[in-house]
Amino acid sequence: MTALSEDTAQSLVGRIETLEVRIAHLEDALNKLSEELATQQGALARQTDRYRQLLEQVMSEPAGASATQVEIPPHY
């Protein structure tokens, strides 16, 4: 094996340090994205549950009944 010159060794050390810094930033970004994804999945699950509840409520109404239907008062 041949020994590296001091300039080459310093250059390699600098490149390795640069890569380590970049990896640290990428790991931080990945962790933040993972946390956000977990938050979004929870919100989507809650919205999906609410949608199912509303759908069941609508489907359980008698035929012809509608919450938006305006009933005319008996005095008309």
Backbone dihedral region of 2: left (phi > 0), alpha (psi from -120 to 50 degrees) or beta?
beta
Q: Using one digit for the tens of pLDDT, what is the confidence trace for 14-26? A: 999 999 999 999 9
**Residue 1: pLDDT over 80:** no
Stronger pLDDT, 37 or 64, i.e. the higher one = 37
Stronger pLDDT, 66 or 12, i.e. the higher one = 12
User: What whole-number distance in Å separates Cα of residue 29 and Cα of residue 9?
Assistant: 30
Stronger pLDDT, 32 or 74, i.e. the higher one = 32
Which DSSP category does 76 fall into? -
User: What whole-number distance in Å separates Cα of residue 60 and Cα of residue 65?
Assistant: 10
Q: Using one digit for the tens of pLDDT, what is the confidence trace for 3-58? A: 889 999 999 999 999 999 999 999 999 999 999 999 999 999 999 999 999 999 99
